[in-house]
Amino acid sequence: MTITMTIDQISVFVENKPGRLAEITEILGAADIDLRAMSIADTADFGILRIIVSEPDRALEALKSANCVVSVTQVLAVAIEDAPGSLAKILRILADADVSVEYLYAFITHTEGHAYVILRVEDTGRATEVFAEHGVKTADSHEIYDL
């Protein structure tokens, strides 16, 4: 597995009908794919499920073979302290560098006191540079997939 500073996020088009989300998670479970993080945004007719999984290539294959509409997006995973104000600090760093955040979601880890924020930004390279300049740790793919 290649280690990168960006994380593969899988987006799945989800029809807004009873049981569809269950079906998608069952596909992943049957393929022995572990969910690391997820977020869903919906409208009246459909939703977009965004997931970070243990094995993105295998998950993509399983979902495609089940006729799911999927895409892959490169996102950043930022390690932060699980404490009040931690998210505000990294968002301020991006704002001060004029880097726009398109969306984000967060999850905690098994390690007490730590959390990760998944960020989709307009300029991943610039965001990575700015975080490095400010000592903000971005997680590599191996670190997230092996949680």
What average pLDDT does range 1-26 have in this prediction? 84
Exposure letters 50-72 (e unless 16+ CB within 10 A, then b) = bbbbbbbeebbebbeeeebebee
CATH 3.30.2130.10 fits 8-72, yes or no: yes
Angstrom CA distances, 26 to 29, 32, 103, 114, 143, stand at: 5, 10, 26, 29, 25
What average pLDDT does range 4-15 have in this prediction? 88
Per-residue pLDDT tens for 62-87? 999 999 999 999 999 998 888 899 99
Which helix (H) or strand (E) element contains residue 125?
A: helix 124-133
Per-residue pLDDT tens for 113-129? 778 888 889 898 999 99
Domain ranges of the chain: 8-72, 74-145
Question: Directed axis angle between helix 56-65 and helix 20-30, to 10°?
Answer: 120
Q: Which of 108, 110, 118, 47 is nearest to 83 (CA)?
A: 108
Overall fold of domain 74-145: Alpha-Beta Plaits (3.30.70)
Amino acid (one-letter) located at 87: L
